[in-house]
Amino acid sequence: MRLCQQLWKMWIPTQPYPHLSKMFLKHFTSRNIGLVVRLNSELYSPSFFTSLGIEHLDMIFDDGTCPPLSVVRKFITLAHEMITVQKRGIAVHCKAGLDEQDV
């Protein structure tokens, strides 16, 4: 997980970014990530992931707040499906990186 955190912080910018590093995408596919959940504003196109067979979901809510119950329920349902049924991993991130969420 620590490597993933470092990679994410290196390649996710603070402004819209038209191209994600191929090395970053390769890292996700090699780790069998099946779902990327973005908690911040759009800084990249989800198609970078979806074109590789990785689902992408925006679950945006205000920084420093708890997500609405509907968002939590949706996440739990999707996490169960991805991890238990499909046997794939999940990457959750905000602008600061993968290690900022207590998921």
Residue 19: predicted pLDDT: 61
pLDDT at 100: 42
H or E element in which residue 24 lies: helix 22-30
Catalytic residue among 35, 92, 94, 98: 94
Distance CA 42, CA 19 (A): 13
pLDDT at 24 (0 to 100): 75
The Cβ of residue 79 has, within 10 Å, a number of other Cβ atoms equal to: 15
pLDDT at 14: 55
Q: What is the DSSP string of 36-82?
A: EEE-S---S-THHHHTTT-EEEE----TTSPPPHHHHHHHHHHHHII
pTM score above 0.85: no
**94 is known as an active-site residue:** yes
State residue 9's pLDDT score: 54
Q: Which regions in the chain score pLDDT beneath 70? A: 1-21, 95-103
Residue 98, SS3 per DSSP:
helix
Confidence (pLDDT) at 63: 75
Which residue segments constitute the domains of the chain, with CATH numbers given?
A: 2-100 (3.90.190.10)
Burial pattern 25-49, b for ≥16 Cβ within 10 A else e, equals bebbeeeebbbbbbbbeeebeeebb
